[in-house]
């Protein structure tokens, strides 16, 4: 039986690498995105992976979008909550909008996507929920009070839900990437990026494929005994 995997923010960056890796591993994949139609169209052309557009920040849109995916491909058995944004700023200058947008996407979005698939996973007695948090949710990052709080929230959510899902065959895990060379990180000024790389013991940024391989492992039947865990993939930058 071919399992269905849904990857939020699955058309660009780390999410695109995850979608492709899951497709290569034999899953039927649905990749969602928020607004960048050109990137999504190019992604589908290159990979053949179906894309769906809605915002994870909108609960009703998530319910409707997931219903569409399930009608097209079948029940979602693997959910990768990868969609994320940054709205950085020092706290004394941070606006309520910057705070709210990041909470709505990076934390509420994880609720909005997981809640509609949860009962189906419970009924089928199988599920994999994989949340993409961040090193900055573990250690906190100056200028990212909103992002660090949301990403730390994802880790707490994972640990609580893992306990609820365990007896129903559902595992819930978090991956905390360090700095990966996606558009999000390449948008940072070169000087700042060099100073980031200087703090990474392996001496380089991570690659999106390296995170994707963590996801395919956590999605597989081989990882059934791993739940509630935080998998750190950061080149040794922050050790928990
Ligand atoms: P990108 O900015 O490259 O891609 C983000 C993806 O998420 C896009 O597909 C985007 O859609 C989608 N997205 C954004 N907002 C929403 C929304 N409201 N609803 C649905 N989809 C949305 O991000 P990265 O690949 O760099 O990051 C992926 C995840 O990894 C994020 O959660 C990020 O916080 C986390 N992370 C990244 C690190 C890094 O170094 N890059 C380090 C640690 C964690 P669209 O194309 O339409 O804009």
Q: What letter would DSSP give residue 159?
A: H
- In ligand 1, the atom with minimum distance to the C-alpha of 177 is 43
Domain 4-225 listed as CATH 3.40.50.720: yes
Q: How far apart are the C-alpha atoms of 152 and 43, rounded to whole Å? A: 30
Nearest CA to ligand 1 atom 12: 9
Note whether ipTM > 0.90 here.
Answer: yes
Domain ranges of the chain: 4-225
CB-based contacts of 209-213 (< 8 A; 24+ apart in sequence): 209/17, 209/21, 210/180, 211/14, 211/17, 211/18, 211/132, 211/175, 211/177, 211/180, 212/14, 212/17, 212/18, 212/20, 212/21, 212/22, 213/21
Distance 199 CA to ligand 1 centre (A): 23
Name every protein residue with a CB atom under 6 angstroms from any ligand 1 atom: 8-9, 11-15, 32-36, 39, 55-57, 82-85, 105, 109, 132, 134-135, 177, 179-180, 182-185
pLDDT tens for the 240 residues of the chain, in order: 799 999 999 999 999 999 999 999 999 999 999 999 999 999 999 999 999 999 999 999 999 999 999 999 999 999 999 999 999 999 999 999 999 999 999 999 999 999 999 999 999 999 999 999 999 999 999 999 999 999 999 999 999 999 999 999 999 999 999 999 998 788 889 999 999 999 999 999 999 999 999 999 999 999 999 999 999 999 999 998
């Amino acid at each position: 039986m071919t399992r269905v995997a849904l990857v939020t923010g699955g058309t660009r960056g780390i999410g695109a690498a995850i979608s492709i890796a899951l497709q290569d591993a034999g899953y039927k994949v649905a990749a969602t995105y928020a607004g960048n139609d050109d990137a999504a169209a190019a992604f589908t052309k290159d990979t053949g992976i179906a894309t769906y557009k809605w915002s994870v920040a909108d609960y009703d849109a998530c319910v409707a979008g997931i219903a569409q995916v399930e009608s097209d491909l079948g029940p979602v058995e693997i959910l990768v909550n990868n969609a994320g944004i940054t709205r950085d700023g020092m706290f004394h200058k941070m606006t309520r909008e910057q705070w709210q947008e990041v909470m709505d996407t990076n934390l509420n979005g994880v609720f909005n996507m997981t809640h509609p698939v949860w009962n189906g996973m419970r009924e089928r007695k199988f599920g994999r929920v994989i949340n993409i948090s961040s090193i900055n949710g573990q250690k906190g990052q100056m200028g990212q009070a909103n992002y660090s709080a949301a990403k730390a929230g994802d880790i707490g959510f994972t640990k609580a839900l893992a306990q609820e899902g365990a007896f129903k065959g559902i595992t819930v895990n978090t991956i905390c990437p360090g700095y990966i060379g996606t558009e999000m990180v390449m948008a940072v000024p070169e000087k700042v990026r060099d100073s980031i790389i200087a703090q990474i013991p392996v001496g380089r940024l991570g690659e999106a494929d390296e995170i994707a391989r963590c996801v395919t492992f956590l999605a597989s039947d081989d990882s059934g005994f791993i739940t509630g865990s935080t998998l750190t993939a950061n080149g040794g930058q922050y050790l928990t």
